[in-house]
Amino acid sequence: MSAYLLYQNAMREQFKALNPGMTFGQLAKYTSAMYSELPQSEKEAWIARAEADKARYLHELASYVPPSGYDAKGDAIVNPISARGGRKGKPEKDVNAPKRNMSAYLLYQNAMREQFKRENPGMTFGQLAKYTSHMYKNLTPEEKATWEARAQQDKARYDAEIAAYVPPPGHDARGVLIEDQRPRKRSKRGPKDPAAPKRASGAYVFFTNEMRPKVLQEFPGIKFVELGKVLGERWRALSAEAKKRYEDMAADDKLRFQMEMQQYTANQAAIAPPAPVEHAYYHDPNTGISYDAYGAHDVTSHHDPYAHHHHHYHA
C-alpha cells in the first residue's frame, strides 16, 4: 500500500473515536487534511513503511505459484472479449457512431489515472478508484468548475456529432444494432398477489438506499454504472462496526418477512376451497362391473347383476 493508505488504515479508528459524528466522507477529508499537515520527518516515516511493504509484496510475489486459471499476481484470467460480440449483455454498436460524452468526474478520472497509478504503485483497482473519488471530492470549486466546463464542451461535441450522424441499416439513431435492442424474453410468471408480504432486503440494499441520494448530490449527472461502482467501493470500505448497523436492519427485515409470511400463509389456507373428495372404486373382474369401495354399490348399473339367477331359483 501507499504511504497515505498505510497512514489512513492506522489512524482510522483513532480519528473515528475523536470525531464520532463524522460521516464516512467527512472522515476521509479529515484524514487527508491531517496527513497533508504532517511534518516532513513523519511523512518520510510513512513513506519508508510503504517501501518496506512494497518490498514485502515483491518478495512474496516472487515465490508465489498461482493456481490454474490465475495469472502471476493471483488475478483470475478472464477470456478476452470477442471483437464482434463485445461484453456480455452489451448491445453491438456501429464502430463509426459518435463516442458518448462523459461526465466531469469521468473526464477527471481518465486524465488523472496514470498519474495516480505512478504515485501509488501498490494500489489495487478498487483502491485507486476510491482514491480518485476522494481526490475529486477535495477539489476546490474553481477546479471542479473547470472539469464541469470540459464536460459541457464534450456534451456539445456529442450532440453536434450525433445530429450529423447517419446510422447504417439495422441501427438506431445512436448507432446501436436494433436487433440487440429487443427486450429479452422472460419466463412467464403468474400475477403477484398484492397482499403478499414484501420480500426481505439485504444489508447492502439498506446501505445503497441511504447512500444513493448522497452520491447523486456529490456527483450530479453521474452515470448509472459509475453510481454502482461508487456505492460498491464505499460499502467495501466500511468497517465491520459500520456494516453491523445495516446488517441489523436486514436481520429485523428478515424477521418481519417471516412473521408476515406465516400470517399470509395461514390466511390463504383459511380462504382456500376444500379439496374435492376422491372416491375409490373396486372392479369385479368376473362381472366387469365397478363398485364403490366405501358404499359397496354398483356404480355402473343400479340393477342387481344376479337378478336373473334369483328369478330362476324362485321359479
Q: What is the pLDDT of residue 246?
A: 93
Res. 218: pLDDT tops 60: yes
Q: Which residue has the higher pLDDT, 171 or 251?
A: 251
Res. 194: pLDDT tops 90: no
Q: Kindly state whether residues 121 and 163 are assigned to the same domain.
A: yes
% of the chain at pLDDT higher than 70: 75
| Residue 61's CATH number | 1.10.30.10
Mean pLDDT of the chain: 79
Q: Kindly state whether residues 157 and 214 are assigned to the same domain.
A: no
> Residue 85 — pLDDT band, cuts 50, 70, 90?
very low
- In the numeric block, which cell numbers belong to residue 1? 500500500
Q: Kindly state whether residues 241 and 166 are assigned to the same domain.
A: no
**Among candidates 170, 231, 165, 167, which has minimal Cα distance to 203?**
231
Q: What is the pLDDT of residue 149?
A: 94
Asked, for residue 36, whether it belongs to a domain, the answer is: yes
Res. 296: pLDDT tops 60: no
Asked, for residue 104, whether it belongs to a domain, the answer is: yes
Strand partners, 298: 291
Q: Kindly state whether residues 104 and 167 are assigned to the same domain.
A: yes
Domain span at residue 236 reads 194-265
Q: Kindly state whether residues 71 and 14 are assigned to the same domain.
A: yes
Res. 31: pLDDT tops 50: yes
Q: Kindly state whether residues 201 and 261 are assigned to the same domain.
A: yes
Rounded distance, CA 120 to CA 128, Å? 8
Q: Kindly state whether residues 102 and 144 are assigned to the same domain.
A: yes
Asked, for residue 310, whether it belongs to a domain, the answer is: no
| Domain stops at, among 149, 178, 207 | 178
Helix axis angle, 104-119 relative to 125-137, nearest 10°?
A: 120
Q: What is the pLDDT of residue 30?
A: 81
Res. 188: pLDDT tops 60: yes
Asked, for residue 22, whether it belongs to a domain, the answer is: yes
Q: Kindly state whether residues 100 and 173 are assigned to the same domain.
A: yes
Q: What is the pLDDT of residue 63?
A: 76
Q: Which residue has the higher pLDDT, 93 or 180?
A: 93
Q: What is the pLDDT of residue 287?
A: 60
Amino acid at 154: D
Asked, for residue 107, whether it belongs to a domain, the answer is: yes
Task: State the CB neighbour count (10 A cutoff) for residue 250.
Answer: 18
The H-assigned helical ranges of the chain are 3-18, 24-36, 40-62, 104-119, 125-137, 141-164, 203-218, 224-237, 240-271, 307-314
Q: Which residue has the higher pLDDT, 90 or 283?
A: 90
Average pLDDT over residues 40-55: 87
Asked, for residue 86, whether it belongs to a domain, the answer is: no
% of the chain at pLDDT higher than 90: 19
| Domain stops at, among 20, 42, 75 | 75
Res. 137: pLDDT tops 60: yes
Asked, for residue 297, whether it belongs to a domain, the answer is: no
> Residue 173 — pLDDT band, cuts 50, 70, 90?
confident
Asked, for residue 85, whether it belongs to a domain, the answer is: no
Strand partners, 76: 70
**Among candidates 261, 230, 225, 236, which has minimal Cα distance to 100?**
225
Q: Which residue has the higher pLDDT, 84 or 7?
A: 7
The number of folded domains in the chain is 3
Q: Which residues contact 103 (CB under 8 A, 6 or more apart)?
A: 151, 219, 221, 222, 223, 226
Res. 73: pLDDT tops 50: yes
| Domain stops at, among 150, 178, 206 | 178
Q: What is the pLDDT of residue 64?
A: 75
